[in-house]
A and B are shown apart, each in its own frame.
Chain A
Amino acid sequence: MVATQETIDKVKEVSSTYKYGFVTDLEADKAPLGLSEDIVKFISHKKKEPKWLLEWRLKAYKKWLSMEAPDWAMVDFPKINFQDIYYYSAPKTKPKLNSLDEVDPELLRTYEKLGIPIKEQKVLAGVAVDYVFDSVSVATTFRKKLAKEGIIFCPISEAVQSHPDLVKKYIGSVIPISDNYYAALNSAVFTDGSFVYIPKGVKCPMELSTYFRINEQNSGQFERTLIIAEDNTYVSYLEGCTAPQRDENQLHAAVVELVAMNNAEIKYSTVQNWYPGDKDGKGGIYNFVTKRGNCLGQKSKISWTQVETGSAITWKYPSCVLKGDDSVGEFYSVAVANNAQQADTGTKMIHIGKNTKSTIISKGISAGKAQNTYRGQVQIQKNARGSRNFTQCDSLLIGDKCGAHTVPYINQFTPYARVEHEATTSKISEDQLFYCLQRGLDTEQATSLIVNGFCKEVMKELPMEFAVEAQKLIGISLEGSVG
């Protein structure tokens, strides 16, 4: 890989500073363009990380260099030039606007449809309001309440400083740096993300949402999240946001690791609405995510619920490794792809322990010219006697230029287990639309209602307030695709 002159110069500058050990802050708020060992050092240093973490990052970087970008997914995009990306920039404050009048009316229209309160609209659009202070104080109260229970919920960069032992023990324990190309990249250059620790016996009293995480802005394109639930615990974590998110960074490669001990339950819900690009997919986000949960303990349970409407390309397979006997893995997914969007998503359920159970419900909706692929693997290992899997994959097509594909892999190494797979493909019929119109619903309402009906089994897994927004979101994502 050829580094640009700018990179070379900057790196020289940085590496010479390194020798002196970086006592004070670097002036630069942005790492030079491109990726090299020195950039990794730069990031680690910026974050004042301990040596072990820097070494871990460097190992990941070396691993990444030796790997090839995967090409098995049913997505098509120009090769990414990894030297043409900035890997670190200090948190930026968005330009402050004085009133909503200055905001892109298109954006406001969407907010309104989502039913986002005016106050929040302002925050999202970057209008100066004192509400920001409200939200900080809410977050503070929130954290106090959690701290009383012994729960840790903070940016992972903060956890590296305050709870290095926990981070060191678990980071990369579920998704090793060599797991895949994007996970290796993330391990080398991750900037921030969430850290959650639920101590033994604690049921987290509230939904943990990134919304309440201080400093959550600009955790960047390489987010890293780690959630650990000790014995006899429960936690529900919400990620994402229904408001359309634009980002100057095209490539997003997040890593999420979950660890559930005996009798622990982690519920992880995502509503993702990254900018999908224009009608031809231009300018949209590439979302290449690695998410995996380890059910280490007996009777532990991890459930992934996702509603994906955004991104030009989605490459995402939240998975469960069911090690503990009687552990349970669940995957509920709605993936909407419209216009030129491409989604290749699904899950892996790896049954290792005895009597482990997994459920996969995947609902793919394609409209426009979009391609939507479900890719799922169910593996029942030799000792996983008495294990069961149920998979249901339904595809809904809107229009006749889009596509839906189902690619299930089943590897069963013991006869003492049961794996069931069901798949359907359907279309919104003209009869259904007319029936709704005849009752006074407009085309958008009708589509949204029918599509949400199709997704119902997944939507009911979402926390209530999230579900309502997600429903509206699905309607909006499909706007203009019917009629």
Chain B
Amino acid sequence: MSLLEIKNAKLKVDNKDILKGLSLSVNSGEVHAIMGPNGSGKSTLSYMLAGRDGYELESGKVFLDGQSLSDMEADERARSGLFLAFQYPVELPGVGGMSFLREAVNSRRKFLGEEELDHLAFVKEARKVASKMFVKDEMLKRAVNVGFSGGEKKRFEILQMAMLKPKVSILDETDSGLDVDALKIVSDGVNEQRTNDNAIVVITHYQRLLDYIVPDFVHILSDGIIIKSGGPELALEVEKNGYAGLINAA
């Protein structure tokens, strides 16, 4: 069953062609990795999927769990179960982590027709998840991402993912900025969320992450299209030889 279906997506940003006919199909229970040179369009793809203003498709189609995303705003997509872990998480001064998370979780629950969590139930849940991610309670009290180290920001992204239980998660370079221990913690956190009912797309530059989060498929994105797809071995090939050979062959 396809949870995420991208068909021939084309998109311009500021009048420049960035996605040039990209197709990708992700089934439930799968983990896909997308690799590709800087500026190839990976983050653009994630923004397009998440429905960011200015990243509307010029042509092509996208479906989330069978539902077309074209008429859905970013917040509706999120509530429907699309999650994006940002390459550069944004600071929200003065906005407490707990209250932010709670609003997010309750928006999602409301959408799913579940009862909203009261303060106590929520705090309990958040603490449970946080301790698994080795995120200190103290961090949840701080303003979202403000003064967080690079690694803390990434951890907080995955913590949000765990709280929101999305159908499809896109992790944009979640491994960058993580030290060795944090990489393991974050990967464990992601792996723990792998089920047969959801799907995860990890965008990364490094094979290292894929030792921890083992993908079912690896895709190489170059200049706005997927030029090659394969299994985990494709990532090893990139690690060894770089993109040049792959791009030339395409």
**Given A438-B78, A449-B100: A454 and B93 within 8 A (CB)?**
yes
Residues of B within 8 A of A (CB): 50-53, 73-75, 78-79, 83-84, 86, 89-96, 99-100, 103-104, 107-108, 111, 143, 160, 164
**Given A435-B86, A435-B89, A453-B143: A441 and B94 within 8 A (CB)?**
no
A385-437 interface with B by 8 A CB criterion = 429-432, 434-437
Task: Give A451's nearest chain B residue, CB to CB.
Answer: B94
Most A C-beta atoms less than 10 A away, residue of B89, B91, B93? B93
**Given A437-B75, A438-B84: A452 and B94 within 8 A (CB)?**
yes
Closest-CB distance, B34 to chain A (whole angstroms): 18
The reply to whether A453 and B95 contact each other, CB–CB distance below 8 Å, is: yes
Task: Give B104's nearest chain A residue, CB to CB.
Answer: A439
**Given A434-B52, A445-B107: A440 and B94 within 8 A (CB)?**
no
In angstroms, Cα B43 to Cα A58, docked, is 73
The reply to whether B75 and A449 contact each other, CB–CB distance below 8 Å, is: no
Is the C-beta of A202 less than 8 angstroms from some C-beta in chain B? no
Chain A, 233-254, contact with B by CB distance < 8 Å: what is the 0/1 string? Answer: 0000000000000000000000
- CB < 8 Å: which of A432, A440, A452, A455 contacts B78? A440
In angstroms, Cα B75 to Cα A384, docked, is 55
In angstroms, Cα B75 to Cα A454, docked, is 22
Closest-CB distance, B237 to chain A (whole angstroms): 33
Query: CB-CB < 8 A to A456: which residues of B?
Result: 94
Closest-CB distance, B77 to chain A (whole angstroms): 8
Query: CB-CB < 8 A to B84: which residues of A?
Result: 438
Task: Give B143's nearest chain A residue, CB to CB.
Answer: A453
Query: CB-CB < 8 A to A29: which residues of B?
Result: none
Residues of A within 8 A of B (CB): 429-432, 434-443, 445-446, 449-450, 452-457
Query: CB-CB < 8 A to B143: which residues of A?
Result: 453
In angstroms, Cα B92 to Cα A454, docked, is 9
Most B C-beta atoms less than 10 A away, residue of A438, A445, A454? A438
The reply to whether A449 and B95 contact each other, CB–CB distance below 8 Å, is: yes
- CB < 8 Å: which of B50, B86, B89, B104 contacts A441? B104
In angstroms, Cα B143 to Cα A455, docked, is 13
The reply to whether A454 and B94 contact each other, CB–CB distance below 8 Å, is: yes
Closest-CB distance, A324 to chain B (whole angstroms): 34
- CB < 8 Å: which of B51, B73, B103 contacts A449? B103
Task: Give A454's nearest chain B residue, CB to CB.
Answer: B94
Closest-CB distance, B103 to chain A (whole angstroms): 6
Most A C-beta atoms less than 10 A away, residue of B79, B89, B92? B92
The reply to whether B90 and A439 contact each other, CB–CB distance below 8 Å, is: no
The reply to whether B95 and A441 contact each other, CB–CB distance below 8 Å, is: no
- CB < 8 Å: which of A430, A436, A437 contacts B92? A436
In angstroms, Cα B79 to Cα A446, docked, is 14
The reply to whether B160 and A440 contact each other, CB–CB distance below 8 Å, is: no
Closest-CB distance, A478 to chain B (whole angstroms): 15
Can you report 18 A-B residue pairs in the complex whose CB atoms are below 8 A from each other? A429-B90, A432-B91, A434-B90, A435-B86, A437-B51, A437-B74, A438-B74, A438-B84, A439-B160, A440-B79, A440-B164, A443-B75, A449-B92, A450-B95, A452-B95, A454-B94, A455-B94, A457-B94
**Given A432-B92, A449-B95, A450-B95: A438 and B50 within 8 A (CB)?**
yes
Query: CB-CB < 8 A to A441: which residues of B?
Result: 75, 103-104, 107
Closest-CB distance, A89 to chain B (whole angstroms): 44
The reply to whether B92 and A453 contact each other, CB–CB distance below 8 Å, is: yes
In angstroms, Cα B53 to Cα A452, docked, is 24
Most B C-beta atoms less than 10 A away, residue of A437, A443, A454, A455? A437
Task: Give A428's nearest chain B residue, CB to CB.
Answer: B92
In angstroms, Cα B91 to Cα A436, docked, is 11
Query: CB-CB < 8 A to A443: which residues of B?
Result: 75
Query: CB-CB < 8 A to A455: which residues of B?
Result: 94
Query: CB-CB < 8 A to A432: which residues of B?
Result: 90-92
In angstroms, Cα B78 to Cα A452, docked, is 22
Query: CB-CB < 8 A to A439: which residues of B?
Result: 78, 100, 103-104, 107, 160, 164
Closest-CB distance, B26 to chain A (whole angstroms): 18
In angstroms, Cα B74 to Cα A453, docked, is 22
